C-alpha cells in the first residue's frame, strides 16, 4: 500500500474529516490514477484511506478515516447500500431520485440518479473510475434495476485527466423516459439531457412554485432558464393564466412543449422563447412588461470561490431586472447553484439588487436542494443550491 505524506500542519482538514487533500499539502508520495493510498501526517500517523488523482489539484479524496477499514468491493457495496437505504427512508414522492450524492454519501465524485428502473451514473473522479465495475455491479444488485447508463461527460472529468464517456454500462433500453413528480409527468432523455437528464435537486422548489402560484392566485409567470419546463408545468398546474419560458437550448424547449402536452395543459397558456435571458429581461423592461411571478434558475455562474466576484455581479444584475419586472404583490423565486456563492452572500446579492431596482421586498422563504441531495456536515462545499422566495411589497 502506497503512502502519501502530508506537510506539517496540512493535516487539519482531514482531522475535521473534510475529504479532500490538495496537491500543495503533500510532502511526498505518488500512486496510479484511482489507486488506494494511506494518507499520513508529517509524523507518519494514519489520517485516512483515499483515492489518488495524479493530475488533479484535488490530489486525494478520502474513502475512510478508519485505519481498520479495507477499501474493497465489500466497502463499496456497504457504502452504496447505506446511501440507497437513506433514500428509501426519505420516501421521496417521485420515481426520479438521487441515490448517491458524491462526497456527502462517502463516495467522492460519484453521482447516481434513478429514473424508474433506469439508473444513470456519473463517475467524476479517478477513485470511482477505478472501481467502476464493482460499483456498477453493486448498484444493479442493490436496486434491482436492470440497466445503468453512464453520463461521465462532466467538466470535472477533464480536471481528473479522464476522457468523456457515455453509454450503457449495464443492460440497455430506451433513453427517453418519463418522470413522475408531484403528480406531474415530465419527459426527459438521459442520453441527450443536461447532467443525468433532469434537475432532480429542484424538485421541492418546483412544488414551492406551484404552491405560491396557487395560494396567492398568481396569474402571469415568467420562467427564466426553464430547461424542459418543470417550473412551467408546476405553475400552470397551480392555476397560472400564462407562463413564458426562456431558455437558450432549443431541444430543452421542445421537451418543455411536450411536457405541457403530457400534462394536458393548454398550449395557449404558454410561450416559449429560445433566447438569452439577460437580453429578454432588458427587452421586457423596455416594453414595460410585468409579471406576477418570476423564476430565475440560472446555470452555475461561479463553480468555485475564485469566480465568485464576477458571478456576484451577474446574479445581482439578473435579480435587479427580475425584481423590476415584478408587479407589486408578485413573487420572485431566485436560485444560485454555484458552490462558490454561499447562502449569506446570495442573500446580500439579492438585497442589493432590490436596492438598485428601487423596490421594497421581503423574503418569504428560503429554499435549498431536495433531501436526496444531502450536504455532509464535514463538506460545506456540498451545499451548492440555495434559493429565496421574495415578495415585492404590494
Ligand atoms: N429550472 C430548470 C433548470 C435550469 S438549468 C429545471 O427546473 O429543470 C439552467 C438552464 O439555463 C439550462 O437549460 C440552459 O440551457 C439555460 N441557459 C444557460 N444560459 C442561458 C442564457 N444566457 N439564456 C437562456 N438560457 C440559458
Ligand 1 site residues, Cβ closer than 6 angstroms: 199, 202, 225-228, 230-231, 246-249, 252, 276-277, 297, 299
- Among residues 34, 46, 63, the alpha carbon closest in space to that of 4 is found at 46
Task: Enumerate domains of the chain plus CATH numbers.
Answer: 2-64 (2.30.130.10), 73-175 (3.30.750.80), 199-392 (3.40.50.150)
Distance of CA 91 to the CA centre of its chain: 20
337 annotated active-site: yes
Residue with the nearest Cα to atom 13 of ligand 1? Answer: 227
Helix axes 277-287, 308-324, angle to 10 degrees: 30
CB 242 within 8 A of CB 271: yes
pTM given for the model? 0.96
Q: Which of 145, 209, 224, 337 is catalytic?
A: 337
Contact between residue 292 and residue 218 where contact means Cβ atoms under 8 Å apart: yes
End-to-end CA distance of the chain: 66
Strands 291-296 and 326-336, bridge-based pairing: parallel
Q: How do beta strands 20-22 and 2-6 pair?
A: unpaired
Cβ neighbours of residue 136 closer than 8 Å, sequence gap 6 or more: 121, 148, 169, 170
Beta-sheet pairing, 176-181 with 184-189: antiparallel
Cα 391 to middle of ligand 1, angstroms: 23
What's the 247 CA to ligand 1 centre distance in angstroms?
5
162 CA to middle of ligand 1, Å?
A: 26
CA atoms within 13 A on the CB side of 189: 13
Phi, psi of 381 (to 5 degrees): -55, -25
Atom 11 (ligand 1) nearest CA: 225
Cβ atoms 387, 366 nearer than 8 A: yes
Strands 118-123 and 147-152: parallel
How far does Cα 387 stand from its chain's mean position? 13
**Per-residue pLDDT of the chain in tens (394 residues, 90 and over written 9):** 899 999 999 999 999 999 999 999 999 999 999 999 999 999 999 999 999 999 999 999 999 999 999 999 999 999 999 999 999 999 999 999 999 999 999 999 999 999 999 999 999 999 999 999 999 999 999 999 999 999 999 988 999 999 999 999 999 999 999 999 999 999 999 999 999 999 999 999 999 999 999 999 999 999 999 999 999 999 999 999 999 999 999 999 999 999 999 999 999 999 999 999 999 999 999 999 999 999 999 999 877 777 888 899 999 999 999 999 999 999 999 999 998 899 999 999 999 999 999 999 999 999 999 999 999 999 988 889 999 999 999 9
DSSP string, 258-316: HHHHHTT--GGGEEEEES-HHHHHHHHHHHT--EEEEEE----S-SSGGGHHHHHHHHH
Residues in the chain, overall count: 394
- Closest C-alpha to ligand 1, atom 7: 230
Amino acid at each position: 500500500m502506497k503512502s502519501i505524506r502530508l506537510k506539517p500542519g496540512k493535516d487539519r482538514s482531514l482531522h475535521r474529516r473534510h475529504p479532500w487533500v490538495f496537491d500543495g499539502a503533500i510532502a511526498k508520495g505518488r500512486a496510479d490514477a484511482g489507486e488506494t493510498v494511506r494518507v499520513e501526517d508529517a509524523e507518519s500517523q494514519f489520517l485516512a484511506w483515499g483515492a489518488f488523482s495524479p493530475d488533479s489539484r484535488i490530489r486525494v479524496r478520502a474513502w475512510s478515516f478508519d485505519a481498520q477499514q479495507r477499501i474493497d468491493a465489500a466497502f463499496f457495496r456497504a457504502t452504496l447500500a447505506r446511501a440507497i437505504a437513506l433514500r428509501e427512508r426519505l420516501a421521496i414522492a417521485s420515481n426520479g431520485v438521487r441515490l448517491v450524492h458524491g462526497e456527502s454519501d462517502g463516495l467522492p465524485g460519484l453521482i447516481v440518479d434513478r429514473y424508474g428502473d433506469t439508473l444513470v451514473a456519473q463517475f467524476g473522479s479517478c477513485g470511482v473510475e477505478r472501481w467502476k465495475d464493482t460499483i456498477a455491479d453493486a448498484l444493479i444488485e442493490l436496486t434491482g434495476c436492470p440497466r445503468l447508463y453512464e453520463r461521465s461527460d462532466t467538466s470535472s472529468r477533464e480536471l481528473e485527466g479522464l476522457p468523456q464517456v457515455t453509454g450503457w454500462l449495464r443492460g440497455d433500453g430506451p433513453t427517453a423516459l418519463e418522470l413522475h413528480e408531484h403528480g406531474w409527468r415530465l419527459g426527459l432523455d438521459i442520453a441527450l439531457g443536461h447532467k443525468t437528464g433532469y434537475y432532480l435537486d429542484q424538485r421541492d422548489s418546483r412544488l414551492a412554485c406551484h404552491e405560491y402560484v396557487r395560494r396567492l392566485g398568481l396569474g402571469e409567470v415568467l420562467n427564466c432558464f426553464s430547461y424542459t419546463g418543470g417550473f412551467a408545468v408546476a405553475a400552470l398546474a397551480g392555476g397560472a393564466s400564462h407562463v413564458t419560458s426562456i431558455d437558450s437550448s432549443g431541444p430543452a424547449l421542445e421537451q418543455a412543449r411536450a411536457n405541457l402536452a403530457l400534462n394536458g395543459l393548454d398550449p395557449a397558456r404558454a410561450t416559449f422563447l429560445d433566447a438569452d435571458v439577460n437580453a429578454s429581461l432588458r427587452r421586457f423592461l423596455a416594453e414595460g412588461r410585468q409579471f406576477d411571478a418570476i423564476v430565475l434558475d440560472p446555470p452555475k455562474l461561479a463553480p468555485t470561490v475564485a469566480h465568485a466576484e464576477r458571478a456576484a455581479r451577474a446574479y445581482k444584475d439578473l435579480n435587479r431586472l427580475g425584481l423590476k419586472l415584478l408587479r407589486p404583490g408578485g413573487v420572485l423565486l431566485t436560485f444560485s447553484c454555484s458552490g462558490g456563492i454561499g447562502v449569506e452572500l446570495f442573500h446580500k446579492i439579492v438585497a442589493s439588487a432590490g436596492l438598485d431596482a428601487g423596490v421594497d421586498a421581503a423574503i418569504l422563504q428560503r429554499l435549498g436542494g431536495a433531501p436526496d441531495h444531502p450536504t455532509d456536515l464535514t463538506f460545506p462545499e456540498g451545499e451548492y443550491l440555495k434559493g429565496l422566495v421574495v415578495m415585492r411589497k404590494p
